[in-house]
A and B are shown apart, each in its own frame.
Chain A
Amino acid sequence: MSTFTTISAGSNSSRLDQRSWLETTAAWVLGLLWILPLLYAMWAAFHPAAFATRFDITAPLTMDNFLAAWQAAPFPIYYVNTVLLVTIILFTQLVLCTLAAYAFARYEFFGRNVLFSLVLVQLMVMPEILIVRNYQTLSALGLVDTLVGIGLPYFASAFAIFLLRQTFKTIPQELVEAAQMEGASTLQILRHVYIPLAKPTYLAFALVSISHHWNNFLWPLVVSNSVESRPLTVGLQVFSSSDQGIDWSIITAATLLTAAPLLIGFLIFQRQFVQSFMRAGIK
């Protein structure tokens, strides 16, 4: 009894700061569960196949699985494809959506609200829902099985337009007027006032866009049907679903290869990643 009173009276922290062991345990169990698939993949990928399901601390380490995966499928080409695809999409998104966001943020024109609602429709109806019709459009344009074809439906991103418009709207009018006094044209103002001040938003959007398109699968699966246009995700699926009885360890190695650049980037720039996703989430 006396111990209880001393604790509650003597400590400065209130009940809100007390953390029961139950809570800490729960947080850790969840934390371990959440990282377990990655840990397991690393175990299987860095050890010989014989140890894929046997957890023996003395098991020898090896890079053979990565080498085997790298040689068994055209992963180098898939890598180049994904990097190109992600770059093309991000670059086009930034250009097109900056222009559109600028118009929405700083111009008065007829039909502005209606047009903006039309943009927002894409937040609900993502291109993957419309794969059947969009595939027909791509065949009509002769862009099936090309990287541009995979990227095309994503170039105009409602999310980017929305995010940039919000940011542009917060930029003080005085800065714009000062630039106007110096005789800057509208596009010069965009280039020298708006874009530099929106840098954090650009970074946030870039990280979200890169992780989304690096990981995207369904639409690239539909559009690509040769090695030349296949991104990593589709390549991995083709590789791991071929019925040649490929070793489990090699598949996990290939899996890690697919995720590695983003994963390593995330581990190094954790703070930026988390903050970017936060920034993108707050409207």
Chain B
Amino acid sequence: MTTTARHIQAYLLLLPAFVLLVSFTHFPAVASLIESFLSTPKGSRPARFVGLENYRIMIEDPVFWQAMSNNFWFAAITIPASIAISISMAIWVNDKIAGKQFLRMSYFLPTVMPMIAVANIWIFFYTPDYGLINQVLQALGFPGQNFLGDSSLALWSITVVAIWKEAGFFMIFYLAALQTLSPSYREAAQIEGASKWYYFRKIQWPLLMPTTVFVLVNALINAFRMVDHIFVMTNGGPNNASTLLLFYLYEVGFKYWDRGYASALTIVLLLILAVIGLLQFFLLDKRTHYK
């Protein structure tokens, strides 16, 4: 076959996937940027160029800043907590431990359940008075709490659910990495009489670094797209106390139908993801120096 024919064949193989990929990823990203400079078309009034107006609205919008700060705290807690828990889980079920099969199943279970479904169950744990957590609190003599209705607790309550949902998923990546570690490290540590903590800190943790980078990037992305449970549990309330960026974007786009402003919010999310992308590039790049 001639080279030209092979070239054409390659492009033909790529064509169907690329048409869809460009239509639903690259085109909408660029279109959102353009539309963020336009007003929202209303009735007979078409969209017109408004410059940075949508961004000015954003800067003056307290709900946007609330969503940003919520999302920051949501990420700041969910990510380290789920990474720490997932490493412990992976180390436990990778070793000999009583009930290993059950533990592995239990840890992984949340991953295969729909967030929307588990959120329904969690609501009940959080319900005032007769919810499970409150029953326990009251039995121990503590006052009951309205976890989802109290604006100082709502964000933390949905954060806990996110950690519970994610840890088992990340455990899988650590488990896979642990299984590829050469047993000779372990033997060497054994001969040296190293403690478990020492072995973890000096051997497992550094060797798991590439996995941690991978998990970290995934956790960062997830922190900006995990919003399903908010629909069920708090609807962003009370008083936007548990609104995250993507949830707010949904509200602006599909409840208030403010397309211009929603496009500007989309651009903010895209910028955040771009920063995460650069971070990944930088971290992965650094990692290769070790090899």
Residues of A within 8 A of B (CB): 14-19, 23-24, 26-28, 30-35, 37-38, 40-41, 44, 53, 96-97, 99-100, 102-104, 107-110, 112, 115, 118-119, 121-122, 124-137, 152-153, 155-156, 158, 161, 186, 211, 214-215, 217-218, 221-222, 232-233, 236-237, 240-241, 248, 251-252, 255-256, 258-259, 262-263, 265-267, 270, 273-274, 277-279, 281-283
Give 16 A-B contacts (CB < 8 Å), ordered by A residue. Answer: A27-B93, A100-B14, A103-B11, A127-B24, A129-B270, A131-B254, A153-B20, A153-B25, A186-B1, A217-B114, A233-B114, A233-B116, A233-B117, A233-B228, A241-B232, A259-B114
Distance between B222 CB and nearest chain A CB, rounded to angstroms: 10
B276 within 8 A of A: yes
Asked if B111 is at the interface (CB within 8 A of a chain A CB), the reply is yes
B82-98 Cβ-contact flags toward A at 8 Å (1 or 0): 00010011001101111
The chain B residue with its CB closest to the CB of A190 is: B13
B103 contacts A31, C-beta separation under 8 Å = yes
* B195/A15 in contact, CB under 8 A: yes
Given known A156-B21, A274-B108, contact A40–B125 (CB-CB < 8 A) = yes
Residue B66 at the chain A interface, CB threshold 8 Å: no
Main secondary structure of the interface of A (DSSP, over half): helix
List residues of chain B with CB within 8 A of the CB of A35: 106, 109
The yes or no answer to B169 lying at the interface (CB within 8 A) is yes
**Contact among B19, B110, B224 for A34, CB-based, below 8 A:** B110
For B199, give its contact among A16, A222, A248 (CB under 8 Å).
Answer: A16
A103 to B18, CA, bound (A): 12
Q: Does B28 contact A152, Cβ atoms closer than 8 Å? A: no
Closest to B273 in A: A124
Given A27-B92, A122-B25, A109 and B7 touching (CB < 8 A)? yes
Query: Known contacts A26-B88, A132-B253: does B18 contact A19 (CB below 8 Å)?
Result: no
Stretch touching chain A among B50-58, B69-77, B144-152, B185-193: B185-193
> Is the Cβ of A259 less than 8 Å from the Cβ of B117?
yes
Given A215-B114, A217-B231, verify A133-B35 contact (CB < 8 Å).
yes
- 8 nearest A-B pairs in the assembled complex, by CB-CB distance: A133-B28, A107-B10, A215-B114, A156-B20, A153-B24, A103-B13, A100-B17, A278-B176
Across the interface, do A252 and B23 meet the contact criterion of CB distance under 8 Å? no
Q: Within 8 Å of chain A (Cβ to Cβ): is B32? A: yes
A31 B106 Cβ-Cβ under 8 A: yes
What's the Cα separation between A186 and B6 when bound, in Å?
10
In contact, A152 and B24 (Cβ under 8 angstroms): yes
B170 to chain A, nearest CB (A): 9
Q: How far is the CB of B50 from chain A (nearest CB, A)?
A: 17
Determine if A218 and B227 form an interchain contact, defined as CB atoms under 8 angstroms apart.
yes
Given the complex, which residues of B lie within 8 Å of A236, measured CB to CB? 114, 116-117, 120
Cα-based distance from A227 to B7 in the complex (angstroms): 46
Verify A124–B221 contact, CB threshold 8 A: yes
User: Is B21 in contact with A119, judged by CB distance below 8 angstroms?
Assistant: yes
Residues of A with C-beta under 8 A to B18: 100, 115, 118, 156
Task: State in angstroms the CA–CA spacing of A35 and B254 once bound together.
Answer: 35
B20, A41: Cβ atoms closer than 8 Å: no
Q: Are B20 and A132 in contact (CB under 8 A)?
A: no
B173 touches A281 (CB 8 A): yes
- Does B16 sit at the interface, judged by CB under 8 A? yes
Q: A118-B18, A222-B254 are in contact. List 18 more A-B contacts (CB 8 A).
A: A16-B196, A24-B98, A27-B89, A27-B103, A34-B110, A37-B122, A125-B273, A130-B32, A132-B249, A133-B27, A133-B263, A155-B17, A158-B21, A221-B231, A255-B117, A256-B117, A273-B112, A281-B214
